[in-house]
Amino acid sequence: MANILVIEDNLEVQDIVSEILENEGFKTLVADNGSTGLQLAQQYHPDLIISDLMLPELDGYGILQALRQDRSTDAIPLIFLTAKSDRESYRQGMELGADDYISKPFTQDELLKAIHIRLSRKAKILNRCQTQIRQLKEELIFTNNHDSLTQLPNWQFLQWQFNQICTQAQPPNLIPLLLIGIDQFNWMRSNLGYAYSQAIIQAVALHLQYQVDSLRLPLATLGRLEADQFALLPGEFNHSTDIAKLAQSLIHSFKQPLIVKDQSVSISASIGIALYPHDNQDIDMLVSYARVAMNHGKQQGGNHYQFYTDVGQVDAAEQIAIASELPRAIEQGEFQLYYQPQVDLRTGQLIGAEALVRWYHPEWGIVSPGKFISIAEETGLIIPLGEWVLRIACQQAKDWYQRLSSQLKVAVNLSAHQFDQPDLTQTILQVLADTDLAPECLEIELTESMLMRDTAAAIQTMQDLKAIGISLSIDDFGVGYSSLSYLQQLPFDTLKIDRCFVSNIDTNHANAAITSAVISMAHDLQLKVIGEGVETTAEREFLSQHHCDGMQGYLISPPLPAPKFESLITSLSSTEKTMLS
């Protein structure tokens, strides 16, 4: 029952009021002067106050004013019960925030009616507040457990759900974690814009949720982890073949294009699968393993599912370790550039240096770029790393130019992700300006695969780069599509024949035939040709006889740190003639 505070100095009235209230079942508190009344109100927060107006020590207006100024008491309803029935006193009371004004003499009905109205209004307000608080709490729980872009469960919820599934599962059943990634998502983000790529994620989320719902697996939970990566916990399975079927059906479901902002978009996905408890018991590790498997699938060209168990364990563990160490290594600058000389096959002159990055891990020692470049690419870290490589290579070329008067062209490898950056030209211009290097001293190496996805956009980027004054070479020629016809459309200066064609060229007839044909066709297209990975004099002789312009390889030198390369610059310029004789 409600608590009511009665502040009344007339003890007779105080008794009557208290009796009426107690008969009605209310609990009462009484005060016979204003300041005690205020103190009791502040201490006990009654549900309602009935107060006289004219009181010793502090009058009714004073009490009301003090109550309304204090956040803990400002909502307590107050009814004046007074003999002052003039209009002015009434107005003053109401203006200060009184809830009702009853003139003495009063009837029991009048008093109780006023009390019930105030209390029921207070209860309604309280009710509304409680509903609002409950809704806010529910919203908060939802936001804490869901991703704001797709409204799918987030990592926190997935962890919880994983534990639920694990506790209910019947051994030896398997609990798979499927990591689903959109193929070529980095490319889409760079080329279609941020907003559109977000819309793609939303469309994929809807599509996947629909697929998952139609599977009718009671515990299945689809969540979003990061960017384009979704995790599916479908529940428990007896056989891995059923998991494979599920993954295949999800891959297959992308056959139809998705509609994104009224446009039809063809999307494919790659799925990596890790199994509890077989691969690991920890969900963090399962996600890492599934990611390794997914990336493996992507490297096979995407549109592919892959079980972690089928990826080499050593490979996988190494990839995970590299991926977790790379951000720190970039922050701490554990990288160094090596330079490999490129030599003119006719004159023996040093014509250029290819910059090749090395990672000095404090415990592992040197990590080869073959191991970490693809991971840096996948995680986007290639952008800061690539820009660092470009800057250091340009600084070095400028330094050699100033100190040794060498006009070496420095060649820098670009990754696909870097090539897709809309501000690539701007970045290169900025680095050239900062290092004060002439653009003719910089060459950028691209690979075929970067150019095949969107040839029109690639041509535009290449033309922009050419307009700066830098040169472009096509790297690893022969490894990919090796189509000379599309080369016609692309503004390359140099073609680098991959080591696999140069190797044993003097004895391998097929390699010899291909290489000589490539050299002569490249010359028809006005391209210079460099043979890569030349290890023997016989290989060098063959290239020289077939009019290859330049060479690079261990025969001259492996990639060297800058100070050693510097000694080579000096020694090569004095011995070039003897080396080629």
Provide the minimum distance between the beta carbon of 164 and Ca ion in the complex, in angstroms, as a whole number: 50
Provide the minimum distance between the beta carbon of 525 and ligand C2E in the complex, in angstroms, as a whole number: 21
Judged by beta carbon, residue 28 or residue 415, the one nearer ligand C2E is 415
Judged by beta carbon, residue 35 or residue 536, the one nearer ligand C2E is 536
Return the DSSP state at 268: -
Judged by beta carbon, residue 387 or residue 445, the one nearer Ca ion is 445
Give every CB contact of residue 155 below 8 A, 6+ residues apart in sequence: 223, 225
Instruction: Please give the residues from 431 up to 460 whose contact with Ca ion meets the rule CB under 5 A.
Output: 445
Judged by beta carbon, residue 413 or residue 515, the one nearer Ca ion is 413
Which one of residues 228, 377, 378, 476 is an interface residue with Ca ion (CB under 5 A)? 476
Judged by beta carbon, residue 271 or residue 356, the one nearer ligand C2E is 356
- Strand-pairing partners, residue 359, are 335, 367
- Residue that has been written with the tokens 């697996």 in this structure: 217
Q: Which does 373 bind (CB under 5 to 8 A by kind): ligand C2E, Ca ion, none?
A: ligand C2E
Q: Which does 344 bind (CB under 5 to 8 A by kind): Ca ion, ligand C2E, none?
A: none
Judged by beta carbon, residue 37 or residue 352, the one nearer Ca ion is 352
Provide the minimum distance between the beta carbon of 466 and ligand C2E in the complex, in angstroms, as a whole number: 20
Residue 557: burial class (beta carbons within 10 Å; 0-12, 13-18, 19+): middle
CA–CA gap between residue 70 and residue 57 (Å, rounded):
20
Provide the minimum distance between the beta carbon of 514 and Ca ion in the complex, in angstroms, as a whole number: 16
CA–CA gap between residue 488 and residue 550 (Å, rounded):
21
Regarding 147 and contact with Ca ion (CB under 5 A), the answer is no
3-state secondary structure 544-563: HHCCCCEECCCCCCCCEEHH
Judged by beta carbon, residue 73 or residue 295, the one nearer ligand C2E is 295
Give every CB contact of residue 36 below 8 A, 6+ residues apart in sequence: 7, 57
Provide the minimum distance between the beta carbon of 483 and ligand C2E in the complex, in angstroms, as a whole number: 19
Short-list 357, 400, 438, 322, CA closest to 563? 400
Please provide residue 261's backbone torsions phi and psi, each rounded to the nearest 5 degrees: 45, 55
Provide the minimum distance between the beta carbon of 393 and ligand C2E in the complex, in angstroms, as a whole number: 8
Provide the minimum distance between the beta carbon of 470 and ligand C2E in the complex, in angstroms, as a whole number: 16
Regarding 413 and contact with Ca ion (CB under 5 A), the answer is yes
Which residues contribute to the site for ligand C2E (CB under 6 A)?
340, 356-357, 368-370, 373, 386, 389, 413-415, 475-476, 499, 533-535, 552-554, 559
Q: Which does 424 bind (CB under 5 to 8 A by kind): Ca ion, ligand C2E, none?
A: none
Short-list 193, 155, 197, CA closest to 177? 155
Judged by beta carbon, residue 16 or residue 560, the one nearer ligand C2E is 560
Give every CB contact of residue 204 below 8 A, 6+ residues apart in sequence: 182, 228, 230, 258, 267, 269
Q: Which does 464 bind (CB under 5 to 8 A by kind): Ca ion, ligand C2E, none?
A: none
Asked if residue 172 has a cis previous peptide bond (ω within 30° of 0), the answer is yes
C-alpha dihedral, 422 to 424 to 429 to 434, nearest 10°: 120
Short-list 240, 248, 203, CA closest to 224? 203
Positions that interact with Ca ion (CB under 5 A): 413, 445, 475-476, 532
